[in-house]
Structure 1
């Protein structure tokens, strides 16, 4: 095959390191596997109607100009997020007969498509006309098949993969001391955008209660981007414990040190296509407490972690309280899970798919 045009409405930049970092990681892995790529991506996370119109207009021009300049060299497009990214791939197939793969990440199906009937119709057209659909989790794949009438043989469940050369286990006490954590405490970690759907309010509320009942036995580190300054302020105002620390995003090599140091990783999301960060934590030898939603309920099934009801601060606090004594998991099943989601295995499967579909 020739080149793959990667289209994504999320991609990191110097100012926004974690914004769609999983897409950038996969692009680099594809390049290392011998697949030449071209990028047409949006790296501006700004919200608000004016900002969205401005950034998406600029992105659209980028997509068209990149395609026009390289039309003869492009044999496939790969859109990350069904809408809006997939709309470009859909158009390029209709107009120029360029085949495409679209990866559904979760929010595009569980949230974006439910905004209005117009977006849902776009979503249906993009999925039904795709040469292949990748869903990052099992439940997401089932939804696409049942609600959007996409045949099972055109859907593959495939996560974005974890780089186990970066996210790997080290001595936890040494890692904690290096980051200024108290090794005598249970150090809880959250990594994700500071938004309502990630369950950050419930997490802070649960930890406040935990710390009041078991003073100075634990600490909570929340690493993530502010998407809405008002919401972030609201969450920080909920904080009654001095043992809660909010930290700005950082490069993945530094972030891996927090995964390695943490005693327990917590992801209390309302929706989650897969929950790649949970796998990254597990790859660092850190057990996980997470909401029983989306891909998380598959990842943490069969004694590979702890599942709690979403939007339930009390249930979350109880799980965190129990975790002060440690969490026992089935290590053999955890390792099997990590092998399945190893980036090397994922990119090999994706490369095969590209070559089957490319014109």
Structure 2
């Protein structure tokens, strides 16, 4: 196999550390395992119709430059996100007979494809023409098979993997909390993700406000994530304005983020939709129990006592789950957690991915 051409509409930069960080992590892990890669990636998270058109035009130009420079050495393309990234892989297969693998991450199927029209049509074409499709979660894989009519044997359920050399348990959780300025005598809740409506941030802040009313001085909430919509973020911060126990933190490098996972007592992910919820696995890898919405991949991940599931958009039940965690802590099925961490260990994921590359490369 020569080179794998990795294509992604999300990829981090120095200015936007968390934007598609999981793609960068996987690329680096592949390189460490001897897989030579070339990239065509969008590092600009700007939104708004004009910004999106301009950034995707620039990305398309980058794609063509990289392809022309490496045309004879590309054995396979791997697109992250079915639409729009998969369009480039689809084009290269039709025009140059280059095979491709596409990874569906969740929003591309559960959100983008539901817009209908050409996006829906392109999504189905890309999935059906792919040599192999990777779904990051079980429910996502089932949707791809039944809704987009992709053969079961062409689909693998495989997360992006967690780097357990980075995300691991702390020797002393309370000491880590102190070092980060947390009060180790409180129950410290952590949220990590974009500050957007679909992550359930509004419900989280409202629920936590009620927790601090019913259990004063007993808990704190740390929200680590980037702003996508400044108006929405402002509204969320306004909800939290009078609560000094809520803290907002800008995106952090992976090593620093891992310290927050290690220090937190409970990780909370109240998303409306979630292909998998890799951050929940990162929390578990750091020994931190999880409360999350009963949606998508989280439904399967936290089953059998691996965590606590609550209905999405239900701030009352979310509040109760948070209060129970403060009062009694969270007991988890350690055997199930260990099984999950083994399955999603980046080393095992990369081994499976290398097998797919070898099978389908030109």
Q: Same fold (TM over 0.5)?
A: yes
Alignment of 1:269-284 (within 5 A): 269-284=271-286
Q: Could you say which residue in structure 1 is the equivalent of 2:252?
A: 250
Distance 1:34 1:206 in 2: 47
Distance 1:64 1:32 in 2: 26
Deviations 1:201-239 (A, max 9, x none): 000000000001100100000000000000000101111
Q: Could you say which residue in structure 2 is the equivalent of 1:231?
A: 232
What's the secondary structure of 2:46's corresponding residue? coil
Which one is further off, 234-243 or 50-59?
Answer: 234-243
Q: Could you say which residue in structure 2 is the equivalent of 1:340?
A: 343
Match of 1:305 among 304, 307, 323: 307
Which one is further off, 100-109 or 169-178?
Answer: 169-178
Q: Could you say which residue in structure 2 is the equivalent of 1:100?
A: 100
Q: Could you say which residue in structure 2 is the equivalent of 1:41?
A: 41
How far residue 107 of structure 1 moved from its aligned partner, in angstroms, is 0.1
What's the secondary structure of 1:111's corresponding residue? helix
Q: What TM-score results when the alignment is normalised by the length of structure 2?
A: 0.99
Distance 1:115 1:68 in 2: 33
Matched, 1:109 2:109: yes
How far residue 49 of structure 1 moved from its aligned partner, in angstroms, is 1.0
What's the secondary structure of 1:302's corresponding residue? coil
How far residue 151 of structure 1 moved from its aligned partner, in angstroms, is 0.3
Q: What TM-score results when the alignment is normalised by the length of structure 1?
A: 1.00
What's the secondary structure of 1:315's corresponding residue? helix
Task: Provide the aligned length of Structure 1 versus Structure 2.
Answer: 359
Distance 1:278 1:330 in 2: 15
Deviations 1:157-203 (A, max 9, x none): 00000000000001201110110100100000000000000000000
Matched, 1:214 2:215: yes
Deviations 1:90-121 (A, max 9, x none): 00000000000000000000000111221000
Matched, 1:357 2:355: no
Displaced runs of 4+ in structure 1, greater than 2 A?
Answer: none
Q: Could you say which residue in structure 1 is the equivalent of 2:156?
A: 156
Distance 1:321 1:253 in 2: 30
Structure 2: which 5+ runs fail to align? none
Q: Could you say which residue in structure 2 is the equivalent of 1:3?
A: 3
How far residue 242 of structure 1 moved from its aligned partner, in angstroms, is 1.2
What's the secondary structure of 1:241's corresponding residue? coil
Distance 1:49 1:156 in 2: 34
What's the secondary structure of 2:44's corresponding residue? coil
What's the secondary structure of 2:296's corresponding residue? coil
Q: Could you say which residue in structure 2 is the equivalent of 1:331?
A: 334
Distance 1:117 1:155 in 2: 24
Distance 1:330 1:310 in 2: 23
Distance 2:73 2:13 in 1: 26
